Amino acid sequence: MLVIFLVSLFGLILIGVPIAFSLIGSAFAMMIGIGHISALKLAQTFISGCDSVPLLAIPFFMIAGEIMNVGGISKRIVVFANTLLGHHKGGLGYVGIVASMIFAGISGSAVADTTAVGSVVLPIMEESGYDKTESTALICAAGCIGPIIPPSTQMIIYGVIAEVSIAKLFLGGIIPGLLIGLGLMILWHHYTVVGDYPVGPKASKKEVLHSFREAFLAILLPFFIIFCIISGVATATETAAIAVVYALIVSMFIYKDMKLNKIPEVVEKACIGTAIMMLVVGAAGVAAYVVTIAKIPELLANSLLSLTDNVNVLMLLLNILLVLVGCVMDSGPAIMILTPILMPVTKAFGLDPVYVGVVMVCNLCIGLATPPVGNVLYVGVGLGQVKLVDLIRKILPFVAVMFAVLFAITYFPQLILFIPNHL
């Protein structure tokens, strides 16, 4: 049954069938294999897979991110980061990383993060004499932090499927996200030491204070989201709805960069993104249902238990699997497909589902910067006007840094669990 599932799923994907329909097709193939075909059950499972209140957080966070981007928030974040770090050698590289980390706390999406920050920073870096391909590679790598630092659409999907606290998942992503940002800064510092990079003018205290005041309300939003979740004032879904109202007030009435006629465009983008994601969510629910009745998770768990009883070996095998899947599939669908299969395995080994979820999201987010799927790479090609082959070559050292952080959080689980367990 596992062979039928994998062959039918990846076979359909390889011939160009969209992910959602590939999932439904693989579920239908497994039903034929089981000898129990029910189109009605497929339809019911599809609807029930989408019928989840926590999933409402996804469109809300998408809308909030779009509003903040259209409302000039990303530009203010970049200006503030530049006044702090722009006077260092190669300072605009640090600016791009810091701005990406701040915007990650608003958008929850790697593509949105890369687009928002890259569209502002990359033209300035090119004007200042930075290598175009190297700069684009850095911004793309920093954009992958988007789904790790809360909020995160991928963690919402995992939380719903695995029935794990989304609040704990959000908190578990804080340290890994900060470690990736720090790792990218250390590597960039090495580049600046050995290379010839421009040095920007040092901002006065008055300029720093002014840029901070301008960006303060934008910087406040990620902390506001985390506070609401930690304090129990609101659920992740309610917090996402509040974030939309907050973004509207800040963008339209305080910064006044967002005009009323832009709202339909913002909502349309968020609706299209949500519709695509929900179609995949429903289809993944169908596949997960058939996978469960075929007892694939139990068979896989028993097979792995017969191979090894060492948790470290198991996590190495799972990471290898996730890396391979992340190279050929986007992180959202991968989480929907793999979570129902891997959860029984990790539970059999006594692993914390929050820890497993954060490792899975971090691993698959690296896939956003690796070919052949690599959505962030294609965004970078468009923004930086560079060749894909050149971009891939330049981004490999940054990807290596992300893998180093993945190794650290895999074998030192407290890097993930410390904040959720104490807050």
pLDDT bracket for residue 183 (50, 70, 90): very high
Domain that holds residue 404: 54-422
Integer Cα distance of 398 and 402 in angstroms: 7
The answer to the question of residue 26 being in a domain is: no
The answer to the question of residue 322 being in a domain is: yes
pLDDT bracket for residue 57 (50, 70, 90): confident
Has this prediction a pTM greater than 0.75?
Answer: yes
The stretch 241-251 carries a mean pLDDT of: 88
The answer to the question of residue 351 being in a domain is: yes
The answer to the question of residue 20 being in a domain is: no
CB 143 within 8 A of CB 113: yes
Q: What is the total count of domains within the chain?
A: 1
Integer Cα distance of 257 and 267 in angstroms: 17
Question: Chain-wide mean pLDDT for the chain?
Answer: 87
pLDDT tens-digit profile of 115-157? 888 888 899 888 888 999 999 999 999 999 989 998 888 999 8
The answer to the question of residue 44 being in a domain is: no
The answer to the question of residue 251 being in a domain is: yes
Q: What pLDDT, on a 0 to 100 scale, did the predictor assign at position 115?
A: 85
DSSP 31-51: HHHHT---HHHHHHHHHHHH-
The answer to the question of residue 100 being in a domain is: yes
Indicate if the pLDDT at residue 366 is higher than 80: yes
The stretch 209-214 carries a mean pLDDT of: 90
The answer to the question of residue 40 being in a domain is: no
Name residue 379's beta-bridge partners: none
- Does residue 16 come out as left (phi exceeding 0), alpha (psi in the -120 to 50 range) or beta? left
pLDDT tens-digit profile of 317-337? 999 988 888 887 778 888 888
The token duo for 182 is: 């720090």
